[in-house]
Structures are given as C-alpha cells and as structure tokens.
Amino acid sequence: MAYIYLLVAILSEVAATTALKRADGFTHPLPSAIVVLGYGTAFYCLSLVLRSLPVSITYAIWSGLGIVLVTLAGAVFYRQMPDLAAWIGMGLILAGVLVIHLFSRSAVLS
C-alpha cells in the first residue's frame, strides 16, 4: 500500500507544480486551488508512506520521478522542451530510482 500512496503523492505534486505556473502568483482561482489541493494531498500521502518506508528511499523516489514527470508536463503543457543534456540527466535520475527500487534492501517495506 505504501507504493500506492507514494504514486498518489508523486502525481499530486506533479499536478500542483504544473498548475503553479498557471496560478500566476495565486491570481487565478482554479489553478491556485489545484496547487493547494495537490500539495496538500502530496504531503499527506507522503506522511503515510513514511510509516513503512525509510525517508531516504521515499524522498529519492518521490523527487526523482517528480523531476522527470514535471519536466514532461512542462514540455506538454508549456512547450518547454529540454535539451539533450537535460534528457540524459533525467535518464540518469530514472536509472538511480530503478537501482534503488530493484537492488536496495533499504527499499523493502519495514
């Protein structure tokens, strides 16, 4: 169940961060509401994840996947296309998340 909460936390944070640009300093109500609800949901779910996963593993997965997904959202919604170096860097981030998840005994539910 921890990984489901982690996925919800990641997706909520990505939605909130993506909406933050459209909120324009919290001057637009709908994107502003998405920001507040998204971050609130993300941190609540993250707190549930930390009941059973170590904070270091949780944060590595949350931030790593969040970086990649926010970059993809920026490309889709705002046409902010990363260059080759950025794509390589994000590939390395994803590789790191996979190494942690697949090979680290620290990632096992406690």
CA contacts within 13 A on the Cβ side of 109: 9
Show the tokens assigned to 91: 């590939």
Question: Domain limits at 9?
Answer: 2-107
Render each residue's pLDDT in the chain as its tens digit; 110 residues.
Answer: 999 999 999 999 999 999 999 999 999 999 999 999 999 999 999 999 999 988 988 988 898 899 999 999 999 999 999 999 999 998 998 898 888 878 877 765 55
- The predicted pLDDT at position 109 comes to 54
- The predicted pLDDT at position 107 comes to 60
The CA–CA distances, whole Å, from 35 to 11, 22, 103, 109 equal 12, 10, 34, 30
Phi-psi map region of 81: left, alpha, beta (phi>0 left; psi -120 to 50 alpha):
beta
Q: Write the DSSP symbol of residue 108.
A: S
- The predicted pLDDT at position 83 comes to 95
- The predicted pLDDT at position 102 comes to 81
- The predicted pLDDT at position 108 comes to 59
User: CA-to-CA distance for 57 and 69, rounded, in angstroms?
Assistant: 18
